[in-house]
Amino acid sequence: MIQVPIGWLLNSNGQLNITAVDFQVNMAKAGMFVDTPGNSAHGHYTWYMLQMLANLTTVMQHALLSSGLYMPALWAMYTVHGASFVKQATIFPSGVGLAATLQPQFACATRCIAAKDTHASGYNFAFAANADLGIDKHFATGFLGFGEDLAISSAMIHNSMHGLQGDYKTDCSCALGTAPFYLHMLLHDSLSFHSIILSKVTGLHSAANSTGAIFLALNMSTDIAAEPSLFATTAQLVHMGAVPEDHITKSVTCILQMKKDIRSFNRLFANLLLSRSVGSMQDVETACSAVRESVTLYWLMAIN
> pLDDT tens across 232-288, in order?
888 888 888 888 888 788 888 878 887 777 777 777 777 778 888 888 999 999 999
Instruction: Say how many CA atoms lie within 13 Å of 196 toward its Cβ.
Output: 26
Answer whether residue 304 shows pLDDT above 60.
no
Q: What is the mean pLDDT of residues 189-194?
A: 59
Please state, in angstroms and rounded to a whole number, the distance separating the CA atoms of residues 283 and 276.
Answer: 12
pLDDT of residue 287: 93
Could you tell me which residues are beta bridge partners of residue 34? 5, 76
pLDDT of residue 71: 77
pLDDT of residue 193: 59
pLDDT of residue 106: 92
In this predicted model, what pLDDT tens digit does every residue of 58-79 receive, in sequence order? 888 888 878 776 778 888 888 8
Could you tell me which residues are beta bridge partners of residue 80? 82
CA separation (Å) from 6 to 11, 17, 63, 164? 11, 11, 15, 22
pLDDT of residue 271: 77
pLDDT of residue 43: 57
pLDDT of residue 182: 46
Is the CB of residue 212 less than 8 Å from the CB of residue 162? no
Which residues have C-beta within 8 Å of that of residue 43, sequence separation ≥ 6? Answer: 7, 10, 14, 36, 37
Q: What is the mean pLDDT of residues 170-182?
A: 53
The CATH class that applies to domain 2-175+262-303 reads alpha beta
Q: Which has more confidence, 256 or 104?
A: 104
Q: Which has more confidence, 145 or 131?
A: 145
pLDDT of residue 284: 94
Answer whether residue 174 shows pLDDT above 70.
no
pLDDT of residue 183: 47
pLDDT of residue 255: 81
Nearest Cα neighbor of 265 from 108, 124, 117, 105 is 124
- Residue 200 DSSP label: -
* Average pLDDT over all residues of the chain: 77
